[in-house]
């Protein structure tokens, strides 16, 4: 089973927006065992879309199209798909019309020909109800191929994908796939692979393993089993148990967990709270923690202490310590962490001070020197690391390492 | 002049990474007047790459390829390109070898067959020196087409693009293009277009105008003139002067300016400082300000006051005000801004409190209610807005609106 993804839009071809839809759709298709052979982006003209469809039909069984719907580009995709699938007439889709009417009402816009037309679909498709916008999705079967059209707005497309996935599974009687994903942090992919070589060899052949590395969230290990048996879950669990023995606290979560969600869960379980004291990360750690809904249950707040005076006035760092060791030093981050923990009255506090670059480096403390500390009821721990990226990479990396160090200190407390 | 972009990598097709290279390359090509007809992503097999090259040559004059270089995938792109261009032999590229040696030394790795091979190139190409990594770029001319191959690592590819752009301009004697970009914030694209309709009609025909909207940085207006004359700059300047009269303070910068760089420049020029007091944005504003190199010259720090107790202890917000008006209210953000300005001893302070969602909304203050205040030597101003996105959109949007309000308060001070 092979798929092709086609994204439509001049704004993609001029580099104005990055196409994120293709990756999302590919990930979902892969999760049900449909491989993506090509991704193609074309402009929003009839000719470009028609050509792309024609070619895709020679390569793939399933063609997933996003974009080129809506009044601003004359619904060019819808009209081209109608032509491509030899539609005879247009049919009004009642449920979509009702959604369009309610959206128009909410936005205070009048109903007119233009938005009513959005509910008119070629007679060669089945409608896929888009509850989040005015352009319905469409499902065509033509010449033995499935062609699926969705709007280009990412959250509308994502809202339609659940139905698309479940229809594809039914239509092709795809073998169910059992997935389980384990999230690790602190070991590079190559080191992890070396450490796991023997364990991997011992895995039953039908358990497939993939390494999925990401600079901000470490390496994910994904187990896949096609046509799972009633015993599959227990067998994967057995492999995970062995993995836990090998990796210990390098494992921080499962599925879509991030370091920030893992820290949040640990704090919530312990009814503990945390605060942040950030210099070079400049609010990034607080921002990652508060991106998660419900984080106010454990995150009380933080101080971005960019200027040394702020380190002293709000976090009670001794000016003599800064003078003697420099702002990027273990004694200073330790005082920052303890200062935040005290000032914000939290159980834990994490602090970072470093030289993100490009300026500010010295021979003793080059760009990329970063000090991290975590304060807890048991005292304060700290470490110094040397990073090698540019400014934004160093900030991201420092934030991830700080969250991981915080996580480990919470776990150790048990 | 038509181009095709081909990105190579299984990690793209399984949705593990989003292809950002295509948008970057497209933007650069468009800036010199080369249109991109298609973007294609294929897997890293000889067959997939060969087919993609063959098809691209039927459509485009310039084919830009990234990825599939390096030892981990057997330099599949390089070998396929050698075959595709009928290379007879391999040639060692001395300057690339020296870079590979120095990178190996810096990483403490031994020189071996594998990394020495990276400097071996087909005799059908000219090498493009990659100073940031071990895989050289390659420039082929074959069958009247230009094929350019670059590594898939974004910052290595970006490092090579300057040379690629200047070679393309020379090779095709492309008409030079004069660009100028004006950045605006605060008017939606449709409203802006309406406001500018008459001015746009009066533009000389040879000045092309494009609207480039972005949720975080507003709408950019890009002027382009092909084959500029010595008078072009002055003529575009004349149009910009008229634009400034129409848009006034909605214009915040030029070129690649963001709201954060614009605020930074204004503060720097006035030798003024700023601090932040954030509730629902959770450190996002500080993070945007500190992403800019050199921001320590004007950003002293901030407080993330998520919990109400932090608003009171660190920012001196009166608990009675919180009790009476609620944490999301104009009186509270005003006190937050004044509290930050006082505690961090800055000229300006910006404060945000709101309900990002999904929880926390009430009939009087639904999700998306956001209050923003800016304190300055002239006192404090505040406003309440109603946003309609999900949690992350609401956070981003609030941060952008707060930076814009700060910017306007600094400008007004003159």
Query: Can you give B154-222 as a three-state secondary structure string?
Result: HHHHHHHHHHHHHHHHHHCCCCCEEEEEEEECCCCHHHHHHHHHHHHHCCCCCCEEEEEEECCCEEEEE
**Is B39–A13 a contact, with Cβ atoms under 8 angstroms apart?**
yes
A358 min Cα distance to partner chain B (Å): 7
pLDDT digits (tens, 9 = 90+) for A187-200: 988 889 889 999 99
In the DSSP assignment, the letter for residue B347 is S
pLDDT digits (tens, 9 = 90+) for A267-312: 999 999 999 999 999 999 999 999 999 999 999 999 999 999 999 9
pLDDT digits (tens, 9 = 90+) for B287-326: 999 999 999 999 999 999 999 999 999 999 999 999 999 9
- Using CA coordinates, name the residue in chain B closest to A25: B15
User: DSSP readout, A83-106?
Assistant: HHTT---EEE-HHHHHHHHHHHHH
- B contacts of A37 (beta carbons < 8 Å): 13, 42-43, 48
Question: How confident is residue A73, by pLDDT bands cut at 50, 70 and 90?
Answer: low
- Using CA coordinates, name the residue in chain B closest to A395: B291
Average pLDDT score over chain A: 94
- A contacts of B38 (beta carbons < 8 Å): 13, 40-42, 48
Q: Which of A10, A15, A221, A314 to mutate to test the interface with B (most CBs of B within 10 A)?
A: A15
**Is A283–B300 a contact, with Cβ atoms under 8 angstroms apart?**
no
Lowest-pLDDT range of B10-19, B262-271, B334-343, B373-382: B10-19
- A contacts of B27 (beta carbons < 8 Å): 14-16
Question: How confident is residue A72, by pLDDT bands cut at 50, 70 and 90?
Answer: low
Question: How confident is residue B153, by pLDDT bands cut at 50, 70 and 90?
Answer: confident
- A contacts of B41 (beta carbons < 8 Å): 22, 38-40
* Peptide bond connecting A358 to the previous residue in cis, omega within 30 degrees of 0: yes
From CA B101, how far away is CA B93, in angstroms rounded?
12
- A contacts of B35 (beta carbons < 8 Å): 13
Q: Counting runs of H as helices and runs of E as strands, what totals does chain B give?
A: 15, 17
- A contacts of B283 (beta carbons < 8 Å): 276, 278, 283-287, 290, 302, 304
- Is the model's pLDDT at B108 over the cut of 90? no
B5 min Cα distance to partner chain A (Å): 10
Beta-bridged to residue A6, according to DSSP, are A40, A65
- Is the model's pLDDT at A29 over the cut of 90? yes
**Is A14–B36 a contact, with Cβ atoms under 8 angstroms apart?**
yes
User: Parallel, antiparallel, or unpaired: how do β-strands A177-184 and A251-254 relate?
Assistant: antiparallel
- B contacts of A290 (beta carbons < 8 Å): 280-283, 304, 306, 395
* ipTM exceeds 0.90: no
**Is A23–B39 a contact, with Cβ atoms under 8 angstroms apart?**
no
Q: Which of B8, B24, B29, B41 to mutate to test the interface with A (most CBs of A within 10 A)?
A: B41
B241 min Cα distance to partner chain A (Å): 26
B391 min Cα distance to partner chain A (Å): 8
Smallest Cβ–Cβ distance between B307 and the set A19, A25, A301 belongs to A301
* Peptide bond connecting B358 to the previous residue in cis, omega within 30 degrees of 0: yes
Smallest Cβ–Cβ distance between A26 and the set B14, B24, B358 belongs to B14
Q: What is the pTM of this model?
A: 0.87
The 3-state secondary structure of B268-317, one letter per residue: HHCCCCEEEEECCCCCHHHHHHHCCCCHHHCEEEEEEECCHHHHHHHHCC
**Is B13–A36 a contact, with Cβ atoms under 8 angstroms apart?**
yes
B298 min Cα distance to partner chain A (Å): 9
Output A223 or B1, whichever has higher pLDDT: A223
In the DSSP assignment, the letter for residue B410 is H
- Using CA coordinates, name the residue in chain B closest to A315: B314
């Amino acid at each position: 089973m092979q798929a092709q993804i086609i994204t439509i839009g001049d704004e993609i071809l001029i580099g104005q927006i990055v196409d994120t839809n293709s990756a999302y759709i590919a990930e979902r298709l892969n999760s049900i065992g449909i491989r993506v052979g090509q991704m193609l982006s074309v402009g929003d003209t009839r000719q470009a879309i028609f050509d792309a469809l024609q070619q895709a039909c020679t390569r793939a069984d399933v063609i997933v199209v996003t974009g080129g719907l809506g009044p601003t580009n004359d619904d060019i995709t819808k009209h081209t798909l109608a032509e491509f699938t030899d539609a005879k007439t247009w049919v009004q889709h009642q449920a979509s019309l009702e959604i369009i009417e309610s959206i128009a009402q909410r936005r205070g816009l009048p109903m007119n020909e233009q938005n009513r037309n959005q509910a008119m679909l070629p007679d060669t498709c089945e409608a896929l109800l888009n509850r989040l916008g005015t352009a319905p999705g469409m499902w065509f079967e033509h010449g033995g191929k499935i062609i699926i059209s969705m709007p280009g707005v990412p959250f509308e497309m994502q809202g339609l994908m659940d139905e698309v996935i479940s229809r594809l599974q039914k239509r092709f009687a795809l073998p169910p796939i059992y997935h389980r994903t384990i999230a690790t942090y602190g070991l590079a992919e190559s080191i992890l692979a070396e450490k796991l070589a023997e364990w991997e060899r011992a895995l039953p052949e039908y358990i497939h393993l993939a390494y999925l590395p990401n600079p901000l969230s470490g390496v994910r290990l994904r187990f896949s089993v096609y046509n799972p048996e009633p015993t599959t879950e227990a067998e994967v669990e057995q492999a995970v148990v062995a993995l836990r023995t090998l990796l210990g606290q390098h494992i921080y979560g499962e599925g879509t967990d991030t370091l920030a969600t893992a820290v949040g869960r640990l704090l919530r379980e312990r009814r503990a709270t945390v605060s942040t004291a950030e210099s070079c990360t400049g609010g990034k750690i607080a921002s990652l923690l508060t991106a998660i809904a419900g984080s106010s249950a454990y995150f009380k707040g933080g101080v971005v202490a960019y200027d040394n005076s702020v380190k002293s006035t709000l976090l009670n760092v001794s000016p003599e310590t800064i003078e003697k060791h420099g702002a990027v030093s273990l004694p200073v981050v330790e005082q920052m962490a303890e200062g935040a923990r005290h000032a914000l009255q939290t159980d834990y506090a994490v602090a970072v001070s470093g030289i993100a670059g490009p300026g500010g480096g010295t021979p003793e403390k080059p760009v990329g020197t970063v000090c991290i500390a975590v304060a807890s009821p048991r005292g304060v721990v700290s470490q110094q690391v040397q990073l090698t990226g540019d400014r934004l990479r160093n900030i991201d990396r420092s934030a991830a390492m700080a969250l991981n160090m915080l996580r480990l200190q919470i776990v150790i407390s048990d």
